[in-house]
Amino acid sequence: MLKTEQSQLLYDQACQSLATGVSTAFRKQVTPVPMYMESADGPYFYDVDGNQLIDYGLAWGPLIVGNNHPRLNAAVIEQISSGYTYGAQHRGEVELAEKMLSMIPHVQRVIFSNSGTEAVQAALRLARGFTGREKFVKFEGHYNGWLNNILVSNHPTAEQFGTTVADCGGQPAAEYSLTLTCPWNDLDALRKVFQQNPGQIAAVIGEPILVNGGSCMPGEGYLPGMIELCRQEGAVSIFDEVITGFRIALGGAREYFDLEPDLSTYAKAMAGGFTISAVGGRQEIFDALADGRTSHFGTYNGNPISVAAAIATMDILSEPGIYDRMHGHGYAIREAIETVAKQCGQTLITTGTGTAFHVHFGLDSAPQSIRDVMRADQETGNRFRAAMLDHGIYNLPGGRWYVGAAHSDKELHRVLPAIESSMQSLR
């Protein structure tokens, strides 16, 4: 069993000064007692209770090359010794921008910011400045950041399907009055939204793979259909690649699906654990910045430490065969889970890719949207995850797994028997 005594003490102490005891609401859902980490190395976490955990959560995505990577460390240390930040231009941001243009298909210009939430807002402002329109479309079950205008219909109830609803208190309806919500993987529904709002929609934004809502894959023709519909209607198509960027392929979903949306957002895996984000896409849209139709701001935009980390991370991810290895590792886990589940009489399916996937208990076919994901047996999924944690295997709530470059056969040889034991414990 996992030891939690010291984590419990620290959590109790934190609750006396840190509101809710954690720094983001998501972390309170991970374990019954929030776990406090002491250190990390490669694909391993070490907590204050002495537990060693194989990390398949990757800090909710950023740790694509693992912790304590020597090349990433060296790049950051070298930059720290030269300067923390400048509030001015530097060579690194030019190098990073050029690197992104060379790596990501059809990206002609980029801008930098500091988080996925910021990048999404920057992309929406660009789209509005470019089109002169105000409304935008987001999809049910897609998490595109925590600001009031877009934190809507992320986890709707069945009664709320088809409406735009706030995800938490403190979100005035006026702040999302220009946000239109649509079911995902349904082109007819998207066409209807355009018909109901003629000439008013600036952008359509969505994850190209719905990782935040169950790793649902796009239906055949859906993503190209979305892009084409936006072009027909004069709206900007935006891939929210905060998760999929640099994770499913070096060029993200643009490379993986061979598609060309107008804009894409990037964060998480971009700098291997350091805070940076970006928007990339067509030069024509970024001309709205150059001619003053809109603007982009941020004290820490392009800060040299994060830029150095991003350059080092992209260089590591450029090594031949690295994505094949990461995907192969993840698909081996998915195959083992499905095979052992069948042997144990459990109904489930895994969805996504090799580097980002979900395990859905109680479903026998791949979910197409959050509406399908909500039918999964979360209680059994939680029991399986708890059993895996007792074996020292750490992944995220909802059955989400991330695989990174630090995961090797050594870790796989520990994971596979843990899957069998944990699945058998559900009987």
The torsion angles phi and psi of 176, rounded to 5 degrees, stand at -120, 25
List 11, 44, 143, 222, catalytic entry: 143
List 268, 323, 394, 402, catalytic entry: 268
Q: What is the greatest pairwise CA distance in the chain?
A: 64
The torsion angles phi and psi of 127, rounded to 5 degrees, stand at -65, -40
Q: 3-class SS at 395?
A: coil
Q: Does 342 participate in catalysis according to the annotation?
A: no
Q: Does 36 participate in catalysis according to the annotation?
A: no
**CA–CA distance, 21 with 385 (Å, rounded to integer):** 23
Neighbours of 359 (CB within 10 A): 28
H or E stretch covering 227 = helix 222-233
| Cβ partners under 8 Å of residue 205, min gap 6 | 120, 123, 124, 136, 137, 138, 142, 144, 150, 238, 240
Neighbours of 178 (CB within 10 A): 18
> Which of 4, 63, 116, 34 has the alpha carbon at shortest distance from 397?
34
**CA–CA distance, 206 with 130 (Å, rounded to integer):** 19
**CA–CA distance, 97 with 94 (Å, rounded to integer):** 5
Distances (CA, A) of 321 to 316, 330, 401, 406, 416: 11, 15, 21, 13, 23
List 240, 256, 262, 323, catalytic entry: 240
What burial class does residue 378 get, using C-beta atoms within 10 Å of its C-beta: 0-12 exposed, 13-18 middle, 19+ buried?
middle
Q: Does 46 participate in catalysis according to the annotation?
A: no
The catalytic residues are 143, 240, 268
